Amino acid sequence: MDYLQINGGNKLSGSVTISGAKNAALPIIAATILSDKEIKLTNLPNVVDIRTLLNLLTMLGGTVEHDKTVAKINNGTITSTKAVYEIVSQMRASILVLGPLLARFGECEVSLPGGCAIGQRPIDLHLKALEAMGAHIEIKGGYVRAEAPNGLQGANIIFDKITVGGTENIVMAAALAKGTTTIINAAKEPEVVQLCEMIADAGVKIEGIGTNELTIEGTDREPLSFKTVEIIPDRIEAGTYLCAGAITHSSITLNKINPQHIRTSTDKLESMGCTFDIGEDSMTIHPPKELRPVNLITIEYPGFPTDMQAQFMAVAAVAEGESIIEERLFENRFMHVSELNRLGADIWLKGSIAAVKGVEKLYGADVMATDLRASSALVLAALVAEGTTNVRRIYHLDRGYDDLEGKLSALGADIARKKEQR
């Protein structure tokens, strides 16, 4: 099994190019099921989750040509509508094939999902919405079995709480439904916006893109013809590299970003004393001599993203004073705290709130990643820890970061991928 060995203390400099957003690419790959013609996707991140979902399409009978950042997909050849446990158990986002498979073929079986152990992310909101659109659904043998032999019907969907995956699944289902679907309390993340724009560019009338109320006029099972889609930049990867600059007190430049998508991260880093030079699609961070503490609460977009909470905790661990971090979205998303404390951080937990008292120095140690974003927080802390840190279980990291060690190494970090000795 691979691990990362990091010798801390190096200053970073130079520039890094941000990859395409995993969380935008996954629903867009699922949406290709709505078409029976070839579609080209560009700027895909070269990460495990993308390869996993493309593999799922192949198992369904789709034709996929994939070369790192570009994929050509033709789902006109799909012969199966069963998404098996072998694939779906590896990644929660596989549940996103449920809506498009059901909408296009009138039936499907999708295994209950797996993925990061950061808390309960039930799919009941997805299922309840599909039932409102006329689907018959049962859960049996670990599979969601859904049927709508006469196609899905437009409906008014009101989500009890904001759900990104639920919004994406229902947008895709509604695209081929008969009649008009209205989604109230829809997610507004940039990744949801790009999915809606992709479907609208294929001729589906969608009103309210980027708001919490979407109205979609379906095609009554007429497959879509998609134009080439370039995946938007990864706002979480961008935020992670900004945190790398902040924690190491280094000025670095990010290329190929959307500054608007990372406003909450830059706002919080500004409150910690950082300044920025911002271009149209680039940004340079200039950290202060001493980082100030930060208070933040995770909440749905456009609020502070839960996917950046762990990275900011690592930065706060070496800031002057005490930071307060509240996690409102996932109950298990503080599993990195004990590992950061192993490096010498001073973090105290009470329920969904973490108090982070900044320390003068962190020290290298063996640590273990527990989920995707926790992995990157440990890497950030290791960049400034005195001595050597070994970050284990980095298969979590490989699910969502495109060549993290290569990009950090190019910036000047002393980081290498190693293999465990048996």
Give the tens place of pLDDT for each residue, 40-50: 999 999 999 99
Neighbours of 303 (CB within 10 A): 13
Which residues touch 367 (CB under 8 Å, ≥6 apart)? Answer: 339, 342, 343, 378, 382, 389, 390, 391, 392
Could you report the per-residue pLDDT of 360-378, keeping only the tens digit for each? 999 999 999 988 888 999 9
Mean pLDDT of 216-232: 98
Mean pLDDT of 54-61: 96
* Sign of the C-alpha dihedral computed for residues 244, 261, 126 and 30 taken in this order: negative
* pLDDT of 114 over the 70 cut: no
How far apart CA 227 and CA 229 sit, in angstroms, is 6
Of the candidates 116, 196, 243, 274, the residue annotated as catalytic is 116
pTM over 0.85: yes
Mean pLDDT of 115-135: 75
Mean of pLDDT over the chain: 94
Angle 200-133-128 from CA coordinates, rounded to 5°:
110
Lowest mean pLDDT among 106-110, 176-180, 216-220, 367-371: 367-371
In a 13 Å sphere around the CA of 237, the CA atoms on its Cβ side amount to 31
Cα 413 to Cα 58, 193, 246, 398, 401: the distances in Å are 38, 35, 14, 18, 16
For residues 290 and 374, the model is more confident at 290
Strand partners, 215: 182, 207
Contact between 393 and 1 under an 8 Å Cβ cutoff? The reply is: yes
The yes-or-no answer on residue 108 being catalytic is no
* pLDDT of 403 over the 80 cut: yes
* pLDDT of 333 over the 80 cut: no
